[in-house]
Amino acid sequence: MEPTASLFLLLLLVLASPASAQRRKKPPARENPIDKVRVQANFNSGQFVGKWFLVGVASRCNYLSENSNQLEATNVVVSVPSTPTVLKALLVDTFRPLDGHCWNIKQMYFPNKVHGRFQLKGRGKPVDVVVGETDYSSYAIVYYQKDRKISAKLYGRTIRVSQAIMGTFERHVAAIGMNEDVTFYFPVYGFCDSADEFHLLDETKYTGKR
């Protein structure tokens, strides 16, 4: 056999060896927890708009666990921006008292390819948002994920929800590997609905879209 042919054959054998194939094979991508969350079927942003009260949250956030006794009543107002550049997005105004003042945090949830999936953009890293389940008239269960850490929030159209809805929320929490030990409930009094210009935190400006 000619030397050139021998070298060529040797090269083929090396490339076909299991060790070589293993080196060329890319490691599988890490599973994204929020991708496994089922989205509300036929999500309708028009029905989702309006006022919601934050009832509870399930999260492994250390700040929540260490300051759960200091949680403040929180409510949000969801609207649909009319600006063409942010069509199908959700504008979320969060109202909560802090140090004797009512604060308004404005955020934009930008739509993903799937209805009911959004991305929250602001000064920090993007947050993936999924509306997991809602009947639009009484409750909504919304998931949030940042740096692969997932949490779930229960919103109600009223400050209190039924035991049946609480049970639904607990099942959703269990499905993402959490339980009552990391579930926190918010006060049902002390809400505020507006804030002056000095207590407005506009997160939408970091995206360049209003």
Who's near 201: CB < 8 A, 6+ residues apart?
A: 103, 104, 105, 106
Is the CB of residue 10 less than 8 Å from the CB of residue 4? Answer: no
pLDDT value of residue 22: 53
| CATH 2.40.128.20 for domain 39-206 | yes
pLDDT digits (tens, 9 = 90+) for 160-196: 999 999 999 999 999 999 999 999 999 999 999 899 9
pLDDT value of residue 52: 98
pLDDT value of residue 5: 52
Please determine, for residue 126, whether its predicted confidence score (pLDDT) is greater than 80: yes
What are the sequence ranges of the domains in the chain? Answer: 39-206
pLDDT value of residue 14: 41
Q: How far is CA 201 from the centre of its chain?
A: 19
pLDDT value of residue 123: 77
Please determine, for residue 64, whether its predicted confidence score (pLDDT) is greater than 70: yes
With the C-alpha atoms ordered 48, 109, 201, 159, is the resulting torsion angle positive or negative? positive
d(C-alpha 204, C-alpha 13), whole Å: 57
pLDDT value of residue 2: 54
pLDDT digits (tens, 9 = 90+) for 143-170: 999 989 999 999 999 999 999 999 999 9
- pTM to 2 decimals? 0.83
Q: Which of 3-7, 62-66, 117-121 has the highest mean pLDDT?
A: 117-121
The three-state DSSP-derived secondary structure of 47-63 is HHCEEEEEEEEECCCHH
pLDDT value of residue 9: 47
